[in-house]
Structure 1
């Protein structure tokens, strides 16, 4: 039995080997079968391609003529063609010695359209979608484009947006891709609440935030948009706000945004831990640098004993001390504040340590990102150049100066090792933003009635950092035409140079019984003298022509001199320490100017102006200000001053009086004559209005004005005039102030106390506010 089994097993094995041998070829090994079947490719044939050329298809293959078309190589080539995104189907096979590649191309996109979009323009959406640039339809690309559009709307506050895509065939065999967008309602910020802010009001904190509550003009400013990144910035702004007002340990414990689907709005809650309030204590300077005059440095210190602790004052003092040490010739000086906390008295004792840092030099300054702005416009903002000593304080000040240009949305400065241990390379990366602006504005003022203006402004003309402005205005009282050009660094120096050309037309009968056409221009130069003090000089020419076409007839001093030419030379000294030039809350601005006029005139005009701001109730945002001004026109040859050159006083002198409404007037025609000397003072308190959101930018104010005018009159060529009727003018009132995009717009409600019979007054006046 055993022998029979063995015989049967042997016969079966022989039959199996006989049958399998032809299939395995000469190799006969099962593991080598795939390689044995691979054929060598002699040529490649591509079929099915219409728009994609054959060379492009072949470039994706991993097989070339002369190589073997193994199953692995064919699979890799198929995957490469599919991943290219050019084809919706790929088939690769051998036909004899020819590798046949058959493809089915993706649909070509003839156009991309958007429907239902209002928040973003078609041009903006086109930059977001990949299909617009590739012009090839694939499901993956379209799905990603839908997500990109939804993300953009989500960041803009449209949390309920829905986006879908569809296609339509076109006559040329391609397809049109259409994105249907249902924006829904934009989600705003219904309320911003604070917990734990016991010392600083919620309204003051809201004013520091980038995120604003929804208000009447949110559709225009888009400042009530919730965004996590903006919320992170707001947390830091709150911390810094506290640190600058005596709370060095203040923390924002949490910032939570809750979405209310029914109201389609967010509610944001900040939880704050204020900590203790501190003042500055003893202030000292210590140095290890021989020959450094520390007494000369003290003027740079802003952290005065007894003053409230302020992080910004501490940082500014540190930087300014380093700069002053550099100005003494110690280019490597570094300043570090040593802070000693006195818990018992709630004070910080500050010792500024002035030491010599490492002797490192600037090898190179690399600038990137400035496609429009010239390199030198950025480089000149540094107080050093390549090859000069490296000083971190000067680098920080340079960055702040570059940011202050307003040409860039972002400025980053990093350092890298140079070619030697004592060399450093500075890399300045900037992100440019639009510097060209055009404006079309209209409004109403008590002085000019309805007015409108079209303007074009370029703050970085040709990338050279130059300022250019063209403007045309029209009002009920006349027309204005202005051209202005400024070179901020004349001949590479810290001197600004500019030219102004203007034309002013005052219509006959609008203010006077005669019209005035004024054409003129001037050259001006400005330069800094010391910190916060600047000098502006100018020379100009002006021609005035008086028109008298209607009745009643113009005064004799107009008809006798129908045209006047004036050449002027003058200067203005300005001292400015305001914390904010647009919305100041602390500091002062002082100016004194003189101008000499010749040709048809011979007089000297002198004016002084001052205004100081002080926070009366900082936590509630209540600000007080005091303003003073005075002017004097001196006749240098006793030939008389023409009334057109006299001060025509109105609401800028004492509120409640109309334009040119103060002083003597002619008996015929009731024309204002003007005055040769004046002085006035004003006190004002402005405050937020509790019932209005801070984001509206509307504040209230109460004020009182008092002024004095001289009774000396201009030369009116013997025309009878009424007297000034009293040299004291005064008024009290209240105002609404809107910080509009055009500037601070004021509505003043005034009650005049002291006035003359011939003075012209007004209960309400609407004006664009200025510092003076």
Structure 2
């Protein structure tokens, strides 16, 4: 009895459970099918257009027959199929908790024929190469459409501004092939034979030609620079540029109308017709809404006043300066509106600056995001603002710029948000600072090979990491190489192998050492120098430790200690030349330096001064006792709109003391001049005292004077021409410069950048004293052609 009841209950429970399981399937089949609730009953795949060239194996899908249907997996299957097939037509039916899938796949057709029609200038092989389409290859529609756009751009870059490119695709889906027809209308080649600027003064024409991108075609340079071709969009942009230029000269109603004429040869005469209109001046200049700051302080920020020529740039520059002076005192929400009021009968504008002052703010929290490698303290060291400071928008912008200048990040954004701080019993307002960064690669591995008039053929390898983390070495095996990044340190390793000079260098620099303004630097090096003579080589190895303190943006001073072992190796015993015994020993020296730098660009300065003075004492336990004084200065000034005058002077002095004599100072410490990086036009190192006609002795006093005028010829890539006047003196007397013995030269050359901004210099120099007497024998000390990486400046 009990058994029968038990069996009956078991059957009832079984049917109940089955009903509970089936119920959701029935509901979802009649309503919306939810992911994971429908079984895939069948998958039917039909392929069209297959042949021997485009046939593919049966596609593998993540969606399987008999499994639960997943919309995510099915979408991924369709994406993958669209990469392998020209067309995918899916069909999905849901009924009674089951899914029936049907896929119609059209195979990518093979290219049977390619017809190019209308091309006269660009050969067919170049067109098919740009389109990346070849007969018997599979046709990829998406790639073809992208390459069609590339072909249009190619024609435009070559100056065919009126070119038109169309195409026809004859696709036989059943047989699986496609015929492609490319129709090209090339039109005239837009070489600008003549560029006219009408309605402008001579000086204005010179300014405009520097500002606009459109240039006149030149047979000598256009083939290299790509300039001198007509591009309608660029011409329109240039018209706006000219208009803006004239507005800032006071011609507020100026208009520019581009006109072009095409001759029978297809050459273009482009004319920019300028109608300047009347010259506008300023009437009254008012400031309204000024309550918090002194009126005199605000008025000093204005760049335009009554009776000045109307110049929008100066007017808006004044508005920005007023905003900046407010932000300096914490008023970061100050808003400046500029209202222009023209006079009815005269070309005069009245200008009113309307100020909404807002309230002062202080800095709250500083939050950093996006720094996956760089440490927080490295970023905070570049911040000019700190919690509790009065807010200064200029310092906020300076922080963003300093972070960009580190080179650690692909992008940097520094902005403010409402602060989370709520100080008790305080009416002061706060703004938090958010620093968002996106990391970028900071390491560089390079191989180089070059030639110079000093070292002939040379090459080597260098490795650098500008965001190195030395203390991450102990985690190298547990976390991998990524732990060696993010410390804000600089690591540089280089091995250079040359015919005359071979050297190895390791440098490590740590900014903000121990969270102080000091910069710590360590350098190890080894050098084998055969450039001074064919008869001997000078070998040195050692290192130095330096500390630098940045006083302000332009001035810094430092301390250093260096130690190096020096030795001299002769190929054979000769009576002439340096003594190997006096050139074998250890140099132990400490020094101090002061440097000033106000140039506007660290790599290619056009204005500013760069100079320094250093003093060093050797004899701290080493083999040699001497002092070394070095004074140098470089001045950069713009003489013309693009031309830069560079003047450099450098004086160096050695003075032995104690048991070290003049002849006892090693060759590796002496001064040498001559060659492509000092006095061009002379043989390397051969200015001054000599052991023999080809072996310099070096000096204890030296003076280098250089003047150079550089003028850029091409911007991209950077190519500049220069003329120069060099002078140099090397002598054996302590602290003695004999100006009458200066060796001078003059010449010209080219300087250009290659291989990731590596400067290359070549040219000719003519020495004023190409020969001199040595032991009653006339010797030639000239070397007119020079070629080198780097340069004098």
The TM-score range, normalised by the shorter chain, is 0.5 to 0.7
Match 1:615 to one of 638, 660, 671: 638
Match 2:552 to one of 516, 530, 552: 530
The answer (yes or no) to whether the contact 2:567–2:580 under 8 Å persists in 1 is no
The answer (yes or no) to whether the contact 1:251–1:272 under 8 Å persists in 2 is no
Could you give the per-residue CA deviations for residues 218-260 of structure 1, whole angstroms, max 9, x where no partner exists?
Answer: 99999999999999999999999999xx858799977999999
Runs (5+) with no aligned partner, structure 1 = 1-37, 62-77, 110-115, 126-136, 168-174, 715-723
Alignment size in residue pairs: 659
The answer (yes or no) to whether the contact 1:289–1:355 under 8 Å persists in 2 is no
Q: Compared with structure 1, are the counterparts of its residues 82 and 432 closer, same or farther at alpha carbon in structure 2 (3 Å cutoff)?
A: closer
Correspondence for 1:47: 42
Match 1:476 to one of 495, 499, 507: 499
Could you give the per-residue CA deviations for residues 311-350 of structure 1, whole angstroms, max 9, x where no partner exists?
Answer: 7999799879969996xxx666999999999x9xx9x9x9
Could you give the per-residue CA deviations for residues 606-631 of structure 1, whole angstroms, max 9, x where no partner exists?
Answer: 1111121222122xx22222222211
The answer (yes or no) to whether the contact 2:462–2:494 under 8 Å persists in 1 is yes
- SS of residue in 1 equivalent to 2:672: coil
- Work out the CA distance in 2 between the residues paired with 1:465 and 1:377: 6
Could you give the per-residue CA deviations for residues 454-504 of structure 1, whole angstroms, max 9, x where no partner exists?
Answer: 222222331333222222212220212112222233223333222211111
Correspondence for 1:452: 459
Match 1:702 to one of 723, 734, 746: 723
Deviation at 1:426, TM superposition (A): 3.7
- SS of residue in 1 equivalent to 2:695: coil
Correspondence for 2:515: 492
Correspondence for 2:360: 359
Q: Compared with structure 1, are the counterparts of its residues 411 and 559 closer, same or farther at alpha carbon in structure 2 (3 Å cutoff)?
A: closer
- Work out the CA distance in 1 between the residues paired with 2:509 and 2:573: 43
Could you give the per-residue CA deviations for residues 10-42 of structure 1, whole angstroms, max 9, x where no partner exists?
Answer: xxxxxxxxxxxxxxxxxxxxxxxxxxxx97999
Correspondence for 2:203: 199
The answer (yes or no) to whether the contact 1:673–1:713 under 8 Å persists in 2 is no
Correspondence for 1:405: 406
- SS of residue in 2 equivalent to 1:92: strand
Deviation at 1:600, TM superposition (A): 1.2
The answer (yes or no) to whether the contact 1:189–1:212 under 8 Å persists in 2 is no
Correspondence for 1:101: 100
The answer (yes or no) to whether the contact 1:649–1:661 under 8 Å persists in 2 is yes
Deviation at 1:383, TM superposition (A): 0.8
Q: After superposition, where does 1:287-302 map in structure 2 within 5 Å?
A: none
Match 2:752 to one of 719, 734, 738: 738
- Work out the CA distance in 1 between the residues paired with 2:695 and 2:763: 25
- Work out the CA distance in 2 between the residues paired with 1:257 and 1:318: 37
- The normalised TM-score by structure 2 is 0.64
- SS of residue in 2 equivalent to 1:378: helix
The answer (yes or no) to whether the contact 1:366–1:426 under 8 Å persists in 2 is yes
Mapped pair 1:437 → 2:448: no
- Work out the CA distance in 1 between the residues paired with 2:312 and 2:589: 46
- Work out the CA distance in 1 between the residues paired with 2:352 and 2:653: 49
Correspondence for 1:586: 607
Correspondence for 2:54: none
The answer (yes or no) to whether the contact 2:523–2:545 under 8 Å persists in 1 is yes
Q: After superposition, where does 1:72-111 map in structure 2 within 5 Å?
A: 88-90=89-91, 92=93, 99=98, 101-104=100-103
- Work out the CA distance in 2 between the residues paired with 1:48 and 1:227: 55
Correspondence for 1:67: none
The answer (yes or no) to whether the contact 1:242–1:250 under 8 Å persists in 2 is yes
Match 1:680 to one of 700, 704, 721: 704
Correspondence for 1:72: none
Match 1:544 to one of 547, 553, 566: 566
Mapped pair 1:749 → 2:764: yes
Q: Compared with structure 1, are the counterparts of its residues 627 and 59 closer, same or farther at alpha carbon in structure 2 (3 Å cutoff)?
A: closer
- SS of residue in 1 equivalent to 2:69: helix
Deviation at 1:105, TM superposition (A): 7.5
Runs (5+) with no aligned partner, structure 2 = 1-28, 45-59, 83-87, 109-123, 133-137, 158-162, 423-427, 469-484, 775-779
Correspondence for 1:727: 741
Correspondence for 2:57: none
- SS of residue in 2 equivalent to 1:58: coil
- Work out the CA distance in 2 between the residues paired with 1:118 and 1:463: 47
The answer (yes or no) to whether the contact 2:466–2:489 under 8 Å persists in 1 is yes
Q: Compared with structure 1, are the counterparts of its residues 232 and 414 closer, same or farther at alpha carbon in structure 2 (3 Å cutoff)?
A: farther
Q: Which has the higher contact order (CA 8 A, sep 6+)?
A: 1
Correspondence for 2:385: 384
Mapped pair 1:58 → 2:57: no
Q: After superposition, where does 1:15-34 map in structure 2 within 5 Å?
A: none
The answer (yes or no) to whether the contact 1:189–1:268 under 8 Å persists in 2 is no
- Work out the CA distance in 1 between the residues paired with 2:377 and 2:166: 48
- Work out the CA distance in 2 between the residues paired with 1:459 and 1:373: 11
Deviation at 1:594, TM superposition (A): 1.6
Q: Indicate the larger mover: 512-521 or 755-764.
A: 755-764
Match 2:688 to one of 638, 658, 663: 663
Root-mean-square deviation (Å): 6.5
- SS of residue in 1 equivalent to 2:582: coil
The answer (yes or no) to whether the contact 1:253–1:273 under 8 Å persists in 2 is yes
- SS of residue in 2 equivalent to 1:559: coil
Deviation at 1:572, TM superposition (A): 2.7
Could you give the per-residue CA deviations for residues 489-539 of structure 1, whole angstroms, max 9, x where no partner exists?
Answer: 3223333222211111123x7625211111121122222113311223322
Correspondence for 1:12: none
- Work out the CA distance in 2 between the residues paired with 1:154 and 1:368: 42
Correspondence for 1:602: 625
- SS of residue in 2 equivalent to 1:605: strand
Q: Compared with structure 1, are the counterparts of its residues 355 and 477 closer, same or farther at alpha carbon in structure 2 (3 Å cutoff)?
A: farther
Deviation at 1:738, TM superposition (A): 2.3
The answer (yes or no) to whether the contact 1:683–1:703 under 8 Å persists in 2 is yes
Q: Compared with structure 1, are the counterparts of its residues 407 and 658 closer, same or farther at alpha carbon in structure 2 (3 Å cutoff)?
A: same
- Work out the CA distance in 2 between the residues paired with 1:640 and 1:317: 67
- SS of residue in 2 equivalent to 1:567: strand
- Work out the CA distance in 2 between the residues paired with 1:317 and 1:681: 45
Q: Compared with structure 1, are the counterparts of its residues 438 and 769 closer, same or farther at alpha carbon in structure 2 (3 Å cutoff)?
A: same
Deviation at 1:749, TM superposition (A): 1.9
The answer (yes or no) to whether the contact 2:761–2:791 under 8 Å persists in 1 is no
Q: Indicate the larger mover: 496-505 or 750-759.
A: 750-759
- Work out the CA distance in 1 between the residues paired with 2:613 and 2:354: 39
The answer (yes or no) to whether the contact 1:361–1:423 under 8 Å persists in 2 is yes
Match 1:625 to one of 641, 646, 665: 646
